[in-house]
């Protein structure tokens, strides 16, 4: 059995990072992840519980095929909880493919940085076990190394998604600003039109009043 752990700090608040985590796939940094499907989602006592299937490609050396078999597409089960009050997101993933010989249990914790609320601390750990086949320790080393490499790519992918979110927010803000400017412009134009119409009305009333006064004088 091999245990791998890692910590990483994102220079973004917890709300931004967790939003990006939901939209993490697909991204160009981790093409091995093909897609995700939501199996179940519910809210219990204010905590969001989600179960997803993750579809991916695992690239094993050819010599392992005779030991554990092959699979063009691999599946994993991901169960997560998001507690907005405690500001904690936990994702637990375990493999479904090759599970007769390989067990990969991975946990990710997203929490606000303890000393900087504008940052997010990611704690990641994985337990890898290979059993029932020769060279099991060597295969565990290969899997652990792959997990470490993929974790770095995953963090890059998350930053990529955060960049997209920030671009979207900026676009919405700019669109809202343009809409506000247009509304102000139209409102001012409407006020000017009403004012001009009222002025013309008052001028007409004044003219009519003068005419009426002259007519009474003549009479």
Residue 161 is classified by DSSP as H
pLDDT at position 47:
97
Domain boundaries, the chain: 2-161
- Average pLDDT of the segment spanning 174-180: 69
Q: Strand, coil or helix: what is 7?
A: strand
CATH topology of domain 2-161: Alpha-D-Glucose-1,6-Bisphosphate; Chain A, domain 4 (3.30.530)
- How far apart are the C-alpha atoms of 144 and 19, rounded to whole Å? 27
Peptide bond into 14 cis (omega under 30): no
CA distances from 23 to 27, 40, 67, 161 (A): 9, 17, 35, 7
pLDDT at site 43: 97
> What are 21-61's pLDDT values in tens digits?
999 998 999 999 999 999 999 999 999 999 999 999 988 88
Ranges of beta strands (E only) in the chain are 2-10, 33-44, 47-56, 74-83, 88-95, 102-113, 116-130
pLDDT in tens, 127-157: 999 999 999 999 999 999 999 999 999 999 9
- Strand ranges of the sheet holding 116-130, from the earlier edge strand across to the other edge: 2-10, 116-130, 102-113, 88-95, 74-83, 47-56, 33-44
């Amino acid at each position: 059995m091999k245990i791998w752990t890692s910590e990483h700090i994102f220079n973004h608040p917890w709300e931004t990072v967790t939003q990006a985590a939901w939209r993490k796939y697909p991204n160009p940094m981790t093409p091995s992840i093909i897609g995700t499907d939501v199996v179940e989602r519910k809210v219990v006592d204010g905590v969001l519980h989600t179960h997803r299937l993750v579809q991916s490609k695992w690239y094993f050396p050819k010599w392992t095929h005779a030991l554990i078999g092959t699979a063009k597409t691999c599946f994993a089960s991901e169960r997560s909880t998001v507690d907005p009050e405690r500001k904690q997101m936990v994702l637990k993933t375990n493999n479904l493919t090759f599970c007769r010989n390989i067990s990969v249990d991975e946990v990710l914790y997203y929490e606000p940085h303890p000393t900087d609320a504008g940052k997010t601390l990611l704690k990641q750990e994985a337990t890898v076990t290979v059993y029932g086949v020769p060279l099991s320790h060597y295969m565990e080393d290969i899997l652990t190394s792959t997990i470490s490499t993929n974790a770095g790519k995953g963090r890059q992918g998350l930053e990529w998604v955060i960049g997209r979110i920030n671009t979207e927010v900026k676009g919405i803000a700019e669109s809202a600003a343009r809409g506000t400017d247009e509304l102000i412009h139209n409102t001012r134009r409407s006020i000017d039109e009403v004012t001009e119409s009222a002025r013309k009305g008052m001028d007409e009333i004044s003219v009519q009043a003068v005419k009426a006064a002259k007519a009474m004088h003549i009479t």
